[in-house]
């Protein structure tokens, strides 16, 4: 980590690992990660006889979907195969949903891990490809969203 001086780390140097897909492969290279977010519901309780306020107490924890973006990968990609297996069921759950652990690590300029987030029991819930436009010179980008049970930060 950092010595006595604190400098916020740059957000462009990160790595992604998905169980069973190997680091350093096409399935660990992403141009953008978003959705690392957690929030708590707040429940309001009215107390009988008191009309000047309500009690606000913590409720359930909610997580946003984890969103990974990258250049469109070949069909041989294990991530693409996992997504297609999940979505080729035509919405039927005839086979169990395959759950995986996804780890996102933010690195400093010396390649030391600064922070790691682990997303447990993740599964794909959305897959999309960017629009095609003959008037632009842009890469085809695929976006995959994952729901997960919990995440932890270390």
> Given the structure tokens 């005839």, which residue do they identify?
94
Q: What is the pLDDT along the chain (154 residues), one digit of tens a residue?
A: 555 566 777 777 888 888 877 666 667 788 899 999 999 999 998 888 778 888 899 999 999 999 999 888 887 888 888 888 888 765 566 678 889 999 999 888 888 888 999 999 999 999 999 998 889 888 899 999 999 999 899 8
Measured from the Cβ of residue 12, the count of other Cβ atoms closer than 10 Å reads 9
Spatial CA neighbour of 68 closest among 145, 147, 148: 145
Residue 40 pLDDT: 93
Q: Can you give the pLDDT at residue 94?
A: 66
**Predicted pLDDT at 91:** 59
Residue pair 119/102 in contact (Cβ under 8 Å)? The answer is yes
Please report the pLDDT score of residue 56 as a whole number.
Answer: 92
Its pTM stands at 0.80
Domains along the chain? 15-38+61-153 (2.30.110)
Residues listed for the chain: 154
> Cα separation of 20 and 124, whole Å?
15
What pLDDT shows up at residue 108? 83
Q: What is the pLDDT of residue 29?
A: 81
pLDDT at 111: 83
| Helix, strand, coil share of the chain (percent; to 5) | 10, 45, 50
3-state secondary structure 60-91: EEEECCEEEEEECCCCCCHHHHHHHHHHCCCC
Q: What is the pLDDT of residue 93?
A: 64
């Amino acid at each position: 980590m950092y010595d006595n001086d604190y400098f916020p780390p740059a957000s462009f140097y990160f790595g992604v690992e998905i169980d069973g897909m190997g680091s350093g492969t096409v399935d660990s290279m992403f141009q953008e990660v978003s959705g690392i977010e957690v929030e708590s519901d707040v429940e309001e309780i009215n107390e009988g006889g008191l009309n000047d306020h309500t009690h606000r107490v913590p409720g359930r924890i909610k997580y946003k979907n984890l969103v990974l973006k990258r250049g469109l990968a070949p069909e041989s990609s294990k991530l693409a195969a996992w997504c297609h297996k999940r979505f080729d069921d035509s919405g039927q759950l005839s086979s169990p949903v395959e759950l995986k652990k996804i780890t996102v690590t933010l690195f400093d300029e010396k390649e030391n891990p600064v922070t790691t987030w682990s997303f447990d029991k993740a599964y794909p819930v959305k897959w999309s490809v960017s629009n095609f436009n003959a008037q632009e010179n842009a890469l085809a980008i695929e976006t995959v969203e994952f729901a997960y049970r919990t995440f932890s930060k270390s």
